[in-house]
Structure 1
Amino acid sequence: MPTSNTCTPSVAPSAAPSSPDRHRSDLTLFMVIAFGVSWASWFTAVGLGGSVKQAPTVLPFLFGAFGPLIGALVIRVRRGRRGEPAPEHVVRIRRTTLFWAPLLLALASATVLSAALLAHPAGGPALSWNDAKEVMQDAGGPAAFLVSMVISGPLSEEPGWRGTAYPRMRASMGRFRAGLVLGAIWAVWHLPLFFIDGTVQNELGLKSPSGVLFAVSTIPMAMLTAYAYERAGVIASIAVHFAVNTTMVLLDVKAPVTQAMIIGVQTILATLLLTTTRPTNKPAPSIPTLTDHRRR
């Protein structure tokens, strides 16, 4: 009997790596770029000496913050060359984003404010609006302050940590494990800032209780921003990062008791959010290539 041509799978020597291999390769490259750019810049600032508020130290200090963003852009270009679509949570703005981003921003800010209020009876400093006004004046006014808080941290980091690293880690990890691991990596990434005069980390001190608590705080923050990413993408994770950073700066949070209270409140909230909701994003499937199937 005549046989018809059928498609049978075969392994071609030039076949693209499997999706898990791509995730690991992209994640490794991202980490190398993020740490390489940031640490090279920040240790240059350490070598130059002086404060981050003065030239020339301020230039490598500012550039170093963009290591994760640069890493994310490189991975995106790499993904585009492979013909893979961008994850929907990274670039698309949906109606849900307009709902979730402001809501999560307010919720994130409330974690810091409520923790500061709870810490006061336990020995923490009282809240003062005068401190907030002084911070904004030093930054050049409310508008300049808010712009600087968006760029320095949220915008320079979230496309990398949440938009690039987190979904690739989720391909092989659960939500809590991914948050724990990424939070620890995030803490290590901040390490050079403890040695640069004029940074928040330098004021806290690497070996002080406040410095240790700063490092620990990256874990619940990683979980909160990851939840925001799952809900409404990078814009939402930027909103959460911005809200926490801005509220802490305005309240001048440095006392260990206040830091510890914030960690506790955010850990409880992140645990509730992650255990009572299902993830809305899934790792993108691998894209078939022309060499995946051959006709005989």
Structure 2
Amino acid sequence: MSSSLPNAAPDAAPAPPQVPAAPGDRYRGDLILFMAVTFALSWACWFTAIAIGGSSKEGPVAAPFMLGAFGPLVGAVVVRARRRRRGEPVPAFAVRFRRQHLLWAPALLVLTSASVLAAALLGHAAGDPALSWENSRDIMDDFGGPAAFLVGLLVSGPLSEEAGWRGTAQPRMRASLSLVRVALVLGVTWAVWHMPLFFIEETVQHDLGLFSGSGVLFIASNIPMAMLAVCAYERGGVVASVAVHFAANATMVLLDVTTATTLAMVTGILAILAALLLTFALPRREPATGDAAPVAGTPPAPPRAPRLVD
């Protein structure tokens, strides 16, 4: 006697496990988003100022000119908001704020300012005009006094940029690049980002002229400046990179560094200083641990030693 059994339904195939994005892929997406927001906002504002025409210091040009400086800060806020929404950890190479960073910031500020001053003195020895305190005082008066000068330069460059270039882009790039490569990439990117300013009247860049020797050297100086700010971030976080950025900007403006000879001196001395810091003064630290729990299912990353140079 035979019996028949109903055909059993085939077992459903198990759903494939979700593979979380690798940190490198995640960082690549963060960098693309940051650069897109930064360039879109800054260049939209600056090209609007160019289209309006007129002085960057007054009238309808002043607002888009100033707003454009905040592109990197807005890009940083957007990337951080997305990271928090997704519950992703802080980038492994991010430098957390520590109280000792408050000691590095003034030291690097003085060192950077002294380097620019030394370059200006060398430029004078090579035939450039002598330094003049009266000229520096006139520059501060044009800003509305010393306090307005210091606040304006602090807000319009260091505070509006460093949280982006160094605080956001640098630690994500450090996941796959050495410090030297990060500095070079950020330096070139920084120089390109500044380009529209050459076409806005009464900016430092416009006064130099894009195709003059001074203009070309200003563009080139972005690379050692970025190297120095990268070193400052590694040693003292965003606070230190803000100090370096502010010191270089303020000293160059007060000393009216505009000639090709002095700009060449500034570029060379800052490059030497950055090279010395890269070689001798940076901690060989392990990547920091993120403050958020990793995405579920993400295997722990194997430990890796950070590379300072290739």
TM over 0.5: yes
Structure 2: state its 5+ residue gaps. 1-14, 300-310
Distance 1:185 1:163 in 2: 15
Alignment of 1:37-76 (within 5 A): 37-76=41-80
Cα gap change, 1:88/1:243 in structure 2, threshold over 3 Å: closer, same or farther? farther
Matched, 1:288 2:294: yes
What CA deviation, in whole Å up to 9, does each residue of 1:42-75 have, x standing for no partner? Answer: 0000000011112211111011000000000000
Aligned residues: 283
Say which SS state the counterpart of residue 100 (structure 2) adopts. helix
Q: 1:45 to 1:247 in 2, by over 3 A?
A: same
Asked if residue 123 in structure 1 is aligned to residue 123 in structure 2, the reply is: no
Pick from 219, 223, 231 the counterpart of residue 223 of structure 2. Answer: 219
Amino acid at match of 1:218: N
Deviation at 1:12, TM superposition (A): 2.2
CA distance in 1: counterparts of 2:179 and 2:270, whole angstroms:
16
Kept after mapping to 2: 8 A contact 1:12/1:292: no
Indicate conservation of the 8 Å contact 1:155/1:238, yes or no: yes
- Partner letter of residue 62 of structure 2? V
Of 280-289 and 78-87, deviating more is 280-289
Runs of 4+ in 1 over 6 A off after TM superposition: 88-91
1:105–1:243 Cα contact (<8 Å) kept: yes
How far, CA to CA, are the matches of 1:196 and 1:17 in structure 2?
Answer: 42
Mapped partners of 1:215, 1:107: distance in 2 = 22
Matched, 1:80 2:115: no
The root-mean-square deviation of aligned C-alpha atoms, in Å, is 2.0
Unaligned runs of 5+ residues in structure 1 are: 1-9
CA contact (8 A) 1:41 1:60 kept: yes
- The structure that has the greater radius of gyration is 2
| 2:270 corresponds to 1:244 | no
Q: What do residues 213-270 of structure 1 show as CA deviations (whole Å, max 9, x unaligned)?
A: 0100000000100111011110110000000000000000001100000111111110
Separation in structure 1 between the aligned mates of residue 173 and residue 42 of structure 2, nearest angstrom = 21
Do structure 1's residue 102 and structure 2's residue 106 form an aligned pair? yes
> What's 1:137 paired with?
141
Counterpart in the other structure of 1:31: 35
Among all aligned residue pairs of Structure 1 and Structure 2, give the percentage whose two residues are the same amino acid. 58
The 3 A distance-change label for structure 1 pair 52 and 90 is farther
Q: Please name the residue that 2:173 is paired with.
A: 169
Aligned-partner Cα distance in 2 for 1:214–1:220: 11
Distance in 1 (alpha carbons) for counterparts of 2:284 and 2:244: 17
Q: Which has the higher contact order (CA 8 A, sep 6+)?
A: 1
> Cα 1:90–1:159, aligned 2, differ >3 Å: closer, same or farther?
farther
Secondary structure of residue in 1 paired with 2:154: helix
1:245–1:89 CA distance, 2 compared to 1 (3 A)? farther
Whole-Å separation in 1 of the counterparts to 2:96 and 2:175:
21
Indicate the residue corresponding to 2:264 in structure 1: 260
Distance verdict in 2 for CA 1:248–1:89, change over 3 Å: farther
Quote how far apart the aligned CAs of 1:85 are: 4.0
Amino acid at match of 2:115: T
- Structure-2 change in CA distance of 1:20 and 1:284 (3 Å): farther
**Distance across 1 between alignment mates of 2:225 and 2:288:** 22
- CA offsets 1:127-177 (integer angstroms, 9 cap, x no match): 100111001111111111100010011000000000011111111111111
